[in-house]
């Protein structure tokens, strides 16, 4: 049995209000609402609303909740606060000790991150990467180097000594750009392939065919939420939805797919802030134990470990 997680940053379950919520009035996989009946999902999929707050005061944030997902630990509760952006020292320690990638690899399972990065970025952060025949795409000035920080995802895979993919891999059909289509990378003068969401889904399953666990990360919806940009939000959600639907439609019989987020944001464009709303966890695949116990975003990581028999 293989497990895949499609992670989208900043999508919660809000009101069914097209004036505030770009998920409303659409048939996205993630179009679930607090004030409307549950919508059926294709391929027998199921939706589980989960808590992103962990009972900690303040608004859920990306660094602490992504750490929770990628460790299976209630990170905000353990450190007593929500941490925005990139993991601080306590979160980095949690990821180094409890990364689900580290635990999977330690148990003899294989794991991979489908996202591809510029060599210059990975080398600047001294992150373990796959070989690349290309020279670094750019040179970061000292001020930018001082501000550069690794994400929770890259740290989780680094803890398991899993090499990260470069844009060489994306060009070779062995990796994906974070925006799925490659448009954002090309807009920054990076050499990245142009793909439709369906083509990206085929690449995803090619990557996933070599691992027990595969993770993909998409964060443009969260950016659109902070900008209160309806057009950018719809663009991000449309692209992710088309990609996720293609991944699900072509799911191998031996694969389980989870679609999840870390906290709410884009579902309420009346504010630039994250929300306190529950977030959706979608499941697609054969009958599986443990789904009913999904209660917080940390349970996504715990469920992955359970399904792959790593306790």
Q: Which residues contact 185 (CB under 8 A, 6 or more apart)?
A: 167, 177, 179, 191, 192
- Topology (CATH level 3) of domain 2-288: Alkaline Phosphatase, subunit A (3.40.720)
d(CA 180, CA 1): 25
d(CA 228, CA 134): 37
* Whether the Cβ atoms of residue 99 and residue 160 lie closer than 8 Å to each other: yes
DSSP-derived pairing of the beta strands 279-284 and 255-260: antiparallel
CA-wise closest residue to 112 among 168, 53, 157: 157
* Other CB atoms within 10 Å distance of the CB of residue 41: 17
Collapsing DSSP states into helix, strand and coil, what is residue 310?
A: coil
- Containing H/E element for 260? strand 255-260
Please give the share of the chain, as a percent, with pLDDT higher than 70.
100
Q: What are the tens digits of pLDDT across the range 5-29?
A: 999 999 999 999 999 999 999 999 9
d(CA 270, CA 274): 11
Q: pLDDT confidence of 268, banded at 50, 70, 90?
A: very high
pLDDT score of 135? 79
143-156 mean pLDDT: 91
> For residue 179, what are its two tokens?
């925006």
Q: What are the tens digits of pLDDT across the range 104-141?
A: 999 999 999 999 999 999 999 999 999 998 878 877 88
Phi-psi region of 171 (alpha: psi -120 to 50; beta: other; left: phi over 0): alpha
Q: pLDDT confidence of 71, banded at 50, 70, 90?
A: very high
42 to 28, 152, 282: CA distances (angstroms): 11, 31, 11
Model's pTM, two decimal places? 0.97
The answer on pLDDT for 281 being more than 80 is yes
Compute φ and ψ for 261, nearest 5 degrees: -130, 175
Q: pLDDT confidence of 211, banded at 50, 70, 90?
A: very high
pLDDT score of 170? 97
pLDDT score of 27? 95
> For residue 111, what are its two tokens?
């794991």
> For residue 245, what are its two tokens?
């639907």
* Whether the Cβ atoms of residue 202 and residue 251 lie closer than 8 Å to each other: no
> For residue 217, what are its two tokens?
């990360």
Specify which residues 296 forms β-bridges with. Answer: 51
d(CA 219, CA 79): 24
Q: Which residues contact 292 (CB under 8 A, 6 or more apart)?
A: none
């Amino acid at each position: 049995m293989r497990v895949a997680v499609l992670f989208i940053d900043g999508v919660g379950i809000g009101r069914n209000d097209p004036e505030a919520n770009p998920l409303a009035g659409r048939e996205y996989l993630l179009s679930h609402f607090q004030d409307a009946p549950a919508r059926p999902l294709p391929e027998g999929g199921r939706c589980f609303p989960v808590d992103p707050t962990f009972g900690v005061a303040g608004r859920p944030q990306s660094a602490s909740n992504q750490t929770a997902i990628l460790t299976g630990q209630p990170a905000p509760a353990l450190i007593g606060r929500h941490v925005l952006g990139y993991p601080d020292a306590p979160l980095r320690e949690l990821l180094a000790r409890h990364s689900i990638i580290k635990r999977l690899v330690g148990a003899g399972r294989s794991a991979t991150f489908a996202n591809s990065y510029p060599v210059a970025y990975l080398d600047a952060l001294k992150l373990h990467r796959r070989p690349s025949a290309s020279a670094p795409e750019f040179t970061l000035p000292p001020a930018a180097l001082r501000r550069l920080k690794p994400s929770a995802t890259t740290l989780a895979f680094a803890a398991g000594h899993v090499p990260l993919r470069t844009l060489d891999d994306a060009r070779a059909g062995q990796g994906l750009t974070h925006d799925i289509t490659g448009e954002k990378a090309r807009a920054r003068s990076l050499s990245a392939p142009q793909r439709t969401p369906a083509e990206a889904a085929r690449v995803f399953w090619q990557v996933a065919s070599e691992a027990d666990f595969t993770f993909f990360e998409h964060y443009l919806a969260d950016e659109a939420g902070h900008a209160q940009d309806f057009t950018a939000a719809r663009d991000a959600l449309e692209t992710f939805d088309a990609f996720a639907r293609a991944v699900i439609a072509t799911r191998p019989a031996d694969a389980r797919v989870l679609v999840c987020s870390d906290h709410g944001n884009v579902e309420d464009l009346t504010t630039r802030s994250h929300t306190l709303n529950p977030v959706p966890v979608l499941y697609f695949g054969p009958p599986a134990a443990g789904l009913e116990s999904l209660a917080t975003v940390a349970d996504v990581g715990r469920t992955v470990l359970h399904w792959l028999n790593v306790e």
